[in-house]
Structure 1
Amino acid sequence: MAHQLQLEKEKYRQWVKAGLGLGYLKEGLAPFCNDIADLQHKDILQNIRSTKSLPSTVTCGGCQVETLKPDHKPVPGNAGNKVCPLGQVKCSCCFKGKIACPNNICGAIYDFIVQHHASTPPAPNWKNSDALQWVTDPWSICKCFINAPGYEQKQSAGETDCTGLLHLMINNQYFHSHIGCDVTVTNNIFTKVRHYRNAIFHSSSMELEESEANTYLDDMIAVLQDGKELLHRSDAQIAVKKLQDLKKKDYIITTEGFEDILGQIKEEMSKVLKSTENAATKDEYEDLKNKLSEGKVETEKLENKLADLKKQISEEKKGQLEAEKEHADLKKKFTILETIMEEQKEVKCFSYCLFPLKIPVHVLHSAMVLR
C-alpha cells in the first residue's frame, strides 16, 4: 500500500513538472513572437503605403472590424449569391452597409490578415482583436491568428500563454518563413505541443507517467530548438536548459511552481467560462459547462495539495528553528563546562593537596544548571 501511495505521488509530481514545462516553453517563445510581430507590422504598413502611395505619416484609429469594409470585393457564387474571393466564410465583403477606412489603410490590413491565415478556409478570430489599434499596435494584428477565446485583453506575447503563441505561429503564414518546421503537415511538432496543454490541464487525475511527462518535455525542447531561428536565440535556449533540468530525478518543485500552475488552470477555466457564455448550441453549452465543472474540481485538488505542501514546509521550518535553539542551548552549556575545566586547571597542585578544593560560587552554580 505504501509503495502504491508513493507511486501515485510520483505520478502527480510528473504532472506538475509537465505543467511547469509549459511555462518555460512560453518564456522561450515570447521574445521571438514579439520580434516577428514587430517585423510583420512594419512590413504590412510599408507595403500598403508603397502600394497605395500613402505618406509615411498616415495612420488611423477610428475603424472597427464589425463595420469595416475590406479592400477586396465579393465575386458571384454558384447560386447567384456573392462569395469572398479570399475564401473567408461570412466575410465582411459580402455584406452591405460596411464603411471603408477614411485613411485607406485598415481595409488593406484586413485583407492581409485573411490572406495570411493558414487555415482552409481562412478563419481569423476577429473577436480577439481591436481594429482601432491595427496601425499602431503589432500585437493587435497577431491576436487575429489565435483561434481561441480569451486573448482580447493580452497586450503582448509576454502576456500570452504558450497555447496562444503556438496558435499564432501555426496560423500566421508570415511566421512560417521564420520557422524551419513545416507546420502545415499533419501532426507536426508545434501542433503536437499545442495539444499538450489540454492533455495536462484537463487531466482529472492530475497524474502522468514519467515516460509521458518526459515525452511532453522533449517535444517542448524540440520546438525551442527549431533550426531556422529559435535555435540561435539565447532566450529560447535558456528555456531549453530549464526544461532539461525538469527531467532530472532530483529536481525540486517549489510552492511558487504550484501557484504558477494553479494560476494557469484558473485562466483556462476563465476561457472555458467565456466560451460557455457564447456557446451556439445546447450541446456545446453542456459540453463546455462540464469542462468548467471538471476544471473547478482540478483546481480544488491542486489548492489542497498546495496547502498541504505549505503546511509541510511550515512544520519543517518550525522543527529547524527548534533544532537550532537546542543547538544554541547545548553550545552555551558546553561553554560553561569549558570554563569550569579551565578554572580547575588554574588551581595550584599543592593547594589542591593541602586544602579543600574551592570553586567560585558562580562556576558552581553554572555546573548545577548543567545537571
Structure 2
Amino acid sequence: MAHQLQLEKEKYRQWVKAGLGLGYLKDGLVPFCNDIADQQHKDILQNIRSTKSLPSTVTCGSCQVETLKPDHKPVPGNAGKKVCRFGQAKCSCCCKGKIACPNNICGAIYDFIVQHHSSSPPAPNWKNTDAQQWSTDPWSICKCFINAPGYEQKQSASETDCTGLLHLMINNQYFHSHIGCDVTKANNFFLKVRQYRNNIFHSSNMELEESEANSHIDDMIAVLQDGKELLQQPNAQIAVKKLQDLKNKDFIITTESFEEILREIKKEMAKVLKSTESAATKEEYDDLKKKLIDLEAKMSDEKEGKLEIEKELKGLKKTMKELEFQMSRETLEKAELKKKLGVLETLVSEQKEEMAKIKTETSFSQSQADNEQTKLEWQKEMIASYCKNLLKVPAMPFTTTRSEMINFQ
C-alpha cells in the first residue's frame, strides 16, 4: 500500500512536471511570436499602402468586424448562390449591408486574414479580435488565427498561453515561412504538443507516467529547436535548457512551481466548467466540478507545505542575521586590534631607531672618555718621571775647577 501511494505521488509529480514544461515552452515561443507578428503587420500595411497608393501614415480605428465589407467580391456558386472566392463559410462578402472601410485599409486586412488562414475552408476566429485595432496593433490580427475562445482580451504573446501561440503558428501561413517543420502534415511536433496541453490540463486523475511526461517534454524541445529560426532564438534555447533539466531525476520542483502550474490548470478547468455549464450533462458537470475541488485541495496541501518551509526559512534567516552580526562585530574588533598593532609596531620601530642613535652617541662618548683617560695617565707618568729625575738637579749652576774637569773627562 505504501508503495502504491508513493507511486501515485510520483505520477502526480510527473503530471506537474509536464505542465511546468508547457510554461517553459511558452516562454521560449513568446519573443519569436512577437517578432513575426510585428513583421507580418509591417508587411501587410506596406503592401496595402503600396497597392492602393495610400499615405504611409494612414490608419483606421472606426471599423467593426460585424459590419465591415471585405475588399474581395463573391463568386457564383451552386444553385445561383454567391460564395466567398476564398472558400470562407458565411463570409461577409456575401452579405448585404456591409460598410466599406472609410480609409480603404481594413477591407484589405480582412482579405489577408482569410487568405492566410491555413484551415480548409479558412475559419478565422473573428470573436477574438477588434477590427478597430488592426491598423495599429499587430496582435489584434494574430488573434484571428487562434481557433479557441477566450483570447479577445489578450494584448500580446506574453499574455497568451501556450495553446494560443501554437494555434497561431499552425493556422497562420505567414508564420509557416519562418518555421522549418511542415505544420500542415499530420502528427507534426507542433500539433502533438498542442494536443499534449489539452491532455495535461484536462487530465481526469492528474497523473502521468515518467516515460510519458519525458516524451511530451522531448516534443516540446523539438518545437523550440526547429531549424529555420527558433534554433537561433536565445530565449527558445534557454527554454530548451530548462526543459532538459526537468528530465533530470534529481531536478527539484519547487513549491512555487507547483502553485504556478496548478493555478494555470485551475483557470483552465474553471473556463471549461463555465463554457460547459449549460451544454454538458449534469453527470459531466458534476465530474468536472469534482476535479476542480480536488485540485483546490491539492493546492491547499501545497500551500501548507510551503508555509512550513517558509517557517524553516524564517528561522534560518534569523540565525544568519545573528551570525552576520557576530561576524560584523568580530570584524570591527579585528580592525581595531589591527589598528592598535600598527601603532605598536610604529612605536617599536621608533624605539629601535632611538636606541640605535643612543648607542652611536654612547660609543662616541666612550671613545672620547678613553682618549681623555689615556692623556691623563700619560700626564701622570710624565709628572712622575719629572719628579724622579729632574727635581734632583740643583736649580743653581755649580763651579768646577779645571783639574776636576780633566779628571772627570
* TM tier, smaller: 0.7 to 0.9
Q: Which moved more, 1:215-224 or 1:314-323?
A: 314-323
In 2: Cα distance, 1:313 partner to 1:301 partner? 18
Report Cα offsets for 1:163-203 as digits up to 9, x if no partner: 00000000000000000000000111100000011110111
Q: Give the corresponding residue for 1:300.
A: 293
- Distance in 1 between residues matched to 2:128 and 2:62, nearest whole Å: 17
Letter in 2 for 1:286: A
Q: Which amino acid aligns with 1:112?
A: F
- CA displacement 1:203-222 (0-9 Å, x = unmatched): 11100000000000000000
Q: CA deviation at 1:324?
A: 11
The 5-angstrom pairing of residues 113-262 of structure 1 reads 113-262=113-262
CA contact (8 A) 2:273 2:288 kept: no
Q: Which has the larger radius of gyration?
A: 2
Task: Supply the distance in 2 between the matched residues of 1:276 and 1:321 (Cα, whole angstroms).
Answer: 44
Structure 1's consecutive aligned runs of 4 or more residues displaced over 4 angstroms after TM superposition are: 289-295, 316-326
- Structure 1 residues 79 and 211, CA gap change in structure 2 (3 angstroms): same
Q: Offset of 1:268 from its aligned partner? A: 1.6
| Conserved? CA contact 1:44–1:109, under 8 Å | yes
Check the 8 A contact 2:70/2:100 in 1, yes or no.
Answer: yes
* 1:52 and 2:45 are equivalent in the alignment: no
In structure 2, the residue matched to 1:41 is 41
CA offsets per residue over residues 296-325 of structure 1, 9 Å max, x none? Answer: 333322332232233234445657888999
Is the 1:265–1:299 Cα contact (8 Å) retained in structure 2?
no
SS at match of 1:303: helix
Q: CA RMSD in A?
A: 2.2
- Counterpart Cα distance in 2 of 1:322 and 1:106: 62
Contact preservation (8 Å) 2:201, 2:269: no
State the distance in 2 between where 1:275 and 1:306 align.
23
**1:12–1:206 contact (8 Å) kept in structure 2:** yes
Counterparts of 1:294 and 1:225, CA distance in 2: 38
1:7-18 matches, cutoff 5 A: 7-18=7-18
The answer (yes or no) to whether the contact 1:265–1:295 under 8 Å persists in 2 is no
Q: Which runs of 5+ in 2 are unaligned?
A: 320-409
Kept in 2, the 8 Å contact 1:272–1:291? The answer is no
Equivalent position amino acid for 2:296 in 1: E
Identity of paired residues, percent? 78
Assess if the C-alpha contact under 8 Å between 1:255 and 1:306 holds in 2: no
Q: Is the 8 A contact 2:202 2:269 kept in 1?
A: no
How far apart in 2 are the matches of 1:96 and 1:143?
A: 26
Count of aligned positions:
319
- Give me the whole-angstrom Cα distance separating, in 2, the residues matched to 1:42 and 1:325: 56
Q: Distance in 2 between matches of 1:137 and 1:21?
A: 30
TM-score by length of 2: 0.74
Relative to structure 1, the CA distance from residue 75 to residue 274 in structure 2 (aligned partners, 3 Å threshold; closer, same or farther) is farther
The residue that corresponds to 1:6 in the other structure is 6
- 2:341 aligns with none
How many angstroms apart in 2 are the aligned matches of 1:230 and 1:244?
17
> Using a 3 Å threshold, how does the CA distance of structure 1 residues 181 and 73 change in structure 2: closer, same or farther?
same
Q: What runs of 5+ residues in structure 1 fail to find an aligned partner?
A: 280-284, 327-371
Give the TM-score normalised by the residue count of structure 1.
0.81
